[in-house]
Structure formats: C-alpha cells, structure tokens
Amino acid sequence: MGDEAAIISALVVVLACALVVLLIGRKFRVPFIIGYFLTGIIVGPFGLGLIAEEEVSMLAELGVILLMFTIGLEISLKNLLAMKKIVLIGGTLQLVLTTAAVWAVMVAVGFSSSVALFIGFLVAHSSTAIIMEHYQKSGEVDSRHGKIALGLLIFQDLNVVPMMLAVPFLAGTGGGDIVGEMVSFVAGLAIMMVILVAAIYLVPKLLRHVALTRSSELFIISIVVICFGIAWLMSLNGVSLALGAFLAGIAISGSDYSHEVVGQIMPLRDILTGVFFVSIGMMLNLSYLWEHLLLIAGLAAVLLLGKFVLNFISVKALGVATGAAILSAVGLAQIGEFSFILGSTGLAAGILDNEIYQIFLAISIVTMAATPFLVQLAPGIVNKYFAPKVEEEEKQVVKADHEIIVGYGLAGQYVSKALKRMDIPYIILELNADTVAREKARGENIIYGDASREAVLDYAEIRTAKTIVITIPHMESVKGIITAARRMNPQISIITRSKFIAETAELYHLGADEVIVDERESAIQIFRRILMSKNMPVQDIEQFSKEIRTELYNTYINIPQKTSIPDDDRSTILDSLLVRAKRADERLSSEMAQVEQIRVEDGCSVCGKKLCEIHLRANYGISVLAVKRYGEADAVVSPDGETILLKGDTVVVIGEQRALGRMLPLFLCDGTTCCELPARKETPSA
C-alpha cells in the first residue's frame, strides 16, 4: 500500500508542477517538451528533490511504451513502399554517414571502437515525437520536407531493432563466442519477423470482430492486450518493451482501425508521455551540467550543426530542391527519444559509464529543447534565399478544400452521392466495421473512426477541410464532434442533424453553423404532402413550406447571429446537403416521372405563349396533361399546341424531377427579368 501511495503522490506532484510550468511556458510560447524537461529538473533529485526517480520510473516506462506504440501506428507499410526511395536510399545515407562520422571522431579522441559505434547509434536518431507533432500542428506533414523527414524517421526507428539486438555483442557479454552471438542476432531478428508477420495478419481480424460488437470498452481492452502482449513477446527475445510496442503499432498500422486506436489511447498516452519526458529531466544532474556548461553547450552546437550538414547531404543526394532539403535537415538535427531507450540499455550493459551517459543526456535535452525554435526559424531563412523553389513546391502539396462526412447511413450515403456528382473531394468517418469494409471494397474514401476524437479528425485533415457534415443521430456524440471540430478548425462550416427542435439551441452554441432537425423536417414534409394532395401549385407549396420552416425556427429556436445571412435566405442555403439527402427521392431521383402543378406568373417567359411555342416536350421531355384556367372551375384537359397560357393558369405536367426543376424558371418572374425561352431542339422525338 505504501508503494502504491508513493506512486500516486509522485504522479500528483509531477502533474501539478507540470501544470504550473506549462501554463507559465505557454505565455512565453515555450514548447511543451521543454516544459516537461523543466518539470523533471525542478521536482527531481537534482532539483528540489520532491520525488525520487524510482517513483515515476514505472509510469515513465508505460508512457514511452504508449508513445512508441502510437508512433508505430502512424508508420503505414503502404506509405513505406510509396516512399522507398527516401526511406531506403536517404535513410541509409543519413544513418551510415552520421554513425560513421561520430565513430571516427570518438575513436580519434581515444574511445574504444565498440563504445564509439554505440554512441554513433545514439546520435544518428532524431525525435519522431517532436518533429511529427510540430508538422501536424503546422500542416506541413504533406509538404515535401515533411514527407522526407517522415521517411528518414521511419528508417531510423526501424533500425533500432538490430541496434538493440547488437547491444550484447558491443558490450562483450556473449562470452567471446562471435559465431554464437551472430547466430543469436540472426535468430532474434527471425523470431521478431515471425511475430510481426503473425501480428500483421491476425491483429486486424481480431480488431474487426471486436469492432463489430460496437463496444468501446472491449475495443480499449483489445488495444491494451495487443500493445502490451506483443511488447511482452518481443521482450522474451531480448528486445525492450518500448521497441516491442513500436513493432506492435506497425502491425496494426495497416488495418482499418489504426486511427480509432490512436484516438482511444491518445489522452492516456499524452499524460504518460509527459511523465516520460519529466523522468528524462529528473535524470539530469544540474551540478554536473553547471560544471561542464561550456563543454555541453559547445558539443550540442557542434552536434546540431554536424547532423544538419549530414542530413542535408543525405537528402540532397536524392535530388531534392535545396529549400526542402534544408528544412528537413534542420528538423532532424536533434537526438531522439529512441536514443534515451537505447542509451539506458547501453548504460545497463556497461557500454557507457555514468559520466558519458550524463554528457549524452545533457546534450540530448539541449538539442531537443532547441529544435522547436530552430524549426520555426528555418522557413524564414529558406524563404529569403530559396523562395521561388520552396513556394513552387509548397503550392504543389496544398490540398483542395474537402468535406468530411460523419456517419454513412442513408443521409451520409446521399450526401456522398451529391458530392461525388459535383466532383467535390470528401472523406467518410464511420463506426460500423461491416460498412467500412464493404464500402472501402467499393472504392469509397471511408475509414473506421470516432469523429469526436482529435486523432481521427487529424487523419481526416480537418484543419484544411471546408465543411463537416454530421449525419449520426446520437446527440452526445454529435456534441463531442462539434466541440472537437470547432476547436481544431475555427473556420470550418459545421452542418449537423438533431432529432428534436429543443436540442438545436445547444448545438448552435457549441459551434454548429446549421442544424437540420428531424422533427421539423418531418412536420414540413407532412405539410407538403397535404398541400400536394390538394393539387396546389408548386410555388404555393414552396412558399408555405418556407413560412412554416421560418416559423418553427423563430418559435422554438434562438439562433445565434453568426453571419449576415438574412433569415429569409436561411432555408434556401440549407436546402443543403442533409436536406437533399433526407429528400433523396425528390432531389436526386432522375428516373421516376412525377406529376406537378405549376402556376403561370404574370410576365414570365411562357405567359401569353402557345404550348407549341414553348417546346416543353422537345427541350425538357415534359408533357402537359391539363391546363386549369384562372377563375374557371373546369380544366382544359389534354390541351393541343394552340392552347395559350395566360396569367394565373395552372399547368399540370408530368416528367422527371430534374427536368421539372430545369423547366420551372420559365414559369417564374421576379418583376424585372424573366428566363428566355430556349430554341426548340431538333430531335427525332420532337
């Protein structure tokens, strides 16, 4: 009980101190990772001594396991193949050049070859967590330099596997049997490949069965079992738990559920990852840092500059433009989180002594702390001297505005049909695993994920999206999605549905731009059907529908004034995607013939014209069934071509809905201009 209380109290102290430090740092725009380092220095044994390192070591290990798991999730094997040139050629050059340069320098100053090689391994790695978080927030993930950085980071992360397996060999703990050590090394790689291949094949099937239960509790349990289970199996082969979790993430990354997995564990991961970086800060000996400040600062500066040059050479060898090469080289100039894991393994194995480890730790923290500032400064310098090339490249990677559809029920299906017909790009987020699998096989751009989770919205690129259309009926989920979407993209247009009018006020205040109410639309549709059964003209039905819709809004809903759009136009604007979807039989059906009644307005194009002069059948495929004379009880049934249409007449027509919509302007007049009659189409049917 005492140990448990110590862990809880340590966690409270760490998080409370981090809260204060991060709040203060936010005012000065200090990156979060520096805040975590400072927190560790303050509360650690070399600072105020509020907690001991042992008290947070377990939480820190959990944090780095989840961090590596999510990093693995973001490494798609498909993307690896797409970036094979960057990954294989650029990654190999960067890793070999950096390791060789460090090895040569370390051997020259008197270190043994094995120690020098191991330090080369440590320096060669860069921080995936820092760089990818920065690129995601700045929207640079899909830029040229963002893709290059990702490719090199992937290669570095994957090479941790053989580096970890090489630790016993470098430490000389294999009893001098080089052949035996090599056999163990190869066998270890083979076992890991078997576990990884099995996981890639089996894990997606398991997640699909769990997803079909639609239970978030079972899904979370499955994630934990998969993450820690594969990590544990890997650890039996001498691999660290963190590296095993990284490979577990890679195994899941190719499945349809990877983005939902990220969304589920992201909050817990962020907290425990913060604890991990705090634990790194706690290990830093401030006295040692102060005594060797100039040495550490000088070595950190040399390391940043040296890695920048070697990174630039590696990327430039691929034929990349100078501007993009500089930006990616700056982004990868620091030491990464895998280096801490590898370094602690080397310390435990005896490759590094405590003094070397302290220098490495201090230099690593300095380079990681400097990275956010360097990455922010680099674009300004590049744009000044390499602006034409960089701007041209950036314009090529900027994506067009797209729409996000949440839910693929009937409404979502017809929204996607409408967008596809208008050639507007979109992505669908759906939580029904069967639907995702079926529609993806049909070529739909659909993914499995909970849209209330920021990681899922990030994957859908909500920061560059124009509109998010929420078609699901679950009100609590809708509220979460609106809140997350508005926070991540304040400019996005949010269109959602709700079941009842009473719910809409809260949705508007949460950030929705337009709310389509099932209850209201049902009332309007019933009202429209009644009017249609009374043989009323289309214009009267539309006018009365608009009045009813406005009355329902004004009576039951206090709509926030977000725009300068007149109230009268609101219903016109939002006979939008969802309304069209709900009325798919009316709006999108082009195959079923319908009968409509249309009144001839004074001054319209057809007023005073003979039916033979209008060419309705030739131009629109529409036939006139009857004409009701204004003020006369009897209709002119089956009129001939000489029948003249007069002001106030009601014309009964039959035709396809889309054709009726194209023809309607001929009967309308706004008092100033009218639609001109088209010339008669010369077709055989005419």
Q: Which of 246-260, 554-568, 616-630, 655-669 is predicted with the least confidence, judged by mean pLDDT?
A: 554-568
Cα 664 to Cα 675: distance, rounded to the nearest angstrom: 10
pLDDT at 653: 83
- Alpha helix ranges (H) inside 511-602: 518-533, 538-556, 567-573, 577-582, 584-587
- Alpha helix ranges (H) inside 74-143: 77-82, 84, 91-108, 113-124, 128-138
Where do the structural domains in the chain lie, given as residue ranges?
2-46+77-394, 403-585, 590-667
pLDDT at 208: 80
pLDDT band at 672 (very low <50, low <70, confident <90, very high): very low
Q: Are residues 438 and 413 in contact, defined by beta-carbon separation less than 8 angstroms?
A: no
Cα 255 to Cα 105: distance, rounded to the nearest angstrom: 44
pLDDT at 583: 42
pLDDT at 93: 92
pLDDT at 522: 61
pLDDT at 551: 59
pLDDT higher than threshold 80 for residue 310? yes
Q: Which of 157-166, 307-316, 365-374 is predicted with the least confidence, judged by mean pLDDT?
A: 157-166
Residues 6+ apart with CB under 8 A from 589: 657
pLDDT digits (tens, 9 = 90+) for 138-170: 667 667 788 888 888 878 887 887 888 788 778
CATH class of 2-46+77-394: mainly alpha
The CA-atom distances, in angstroms, between 281 and each of 18, 142, 278, 394 are: 12, 32, 5, 37
403-585 has which fold? Rossmann fold (3.40.50)
Arithmetic mean of pLDDT over the chain? 77
pLDDT higher than threshold 90 for residue 448? no
pLDDT at 125: 92
pLDDT band at 533 (very low <50, low <70, confident <90, very high): low
The predicted model gives 315-339 an average pLDDT of 88
**Phi, psi values for residue 498, rounded to 5°:** -145, 155
pLDDT at 173: 61
pLDDT band at 322 (very low <50, low <70, confident <90, very high): confident
State which of 201-205, 302-306, 371-375 shows the largest mean pLDDT: 302-306
Residue 642 DSSP SS3: coil
Say how many C-beta atoms besides its own lie within 10 A of residue 2's C-beta: 6
Residue 254 DSSP SS3: coil
Helix (H) or strand (E) holding 636: strand 635-637
Q: Are residues 70 and 136 in contact, defined by beta-carbon separation less than 8 angstroms?
A: no
pLDDT at 660: 78
CATH class of 590-667: alpha beta
Cα 279 to Cα 277: distance, rounded to the nearest angstrom: 5
pLDDT band at 498 (very low <50, low <70, confident <90, very high): confident
Residues 6+ apart with CB under 8 A from 289: 296, 362
pLDDT higher than threshold 50 for residue 580? no
Q: Which of 116-120, 233-237, 651-655 is predicted with the least confidence, judged by mean pLDDT?
A: 233-237
Instruction: Specify the long-range contacts of residues 343-351, CB closer than 8 Å, at least 24 apart.
Output: 343/122, 345/164, 345/167, 345/240, 346/118, 346/122, 346/167, 346/170, 346/171, 349/167, 349/168, 349/170, 349/171, 349/173, 350/171, 350/173, 351/114, 351/115, 351/118, 351/167, 351/170, 351/171
Assigned token pair, 605: 């194009």
Assigned token pair, 289: 């840092």
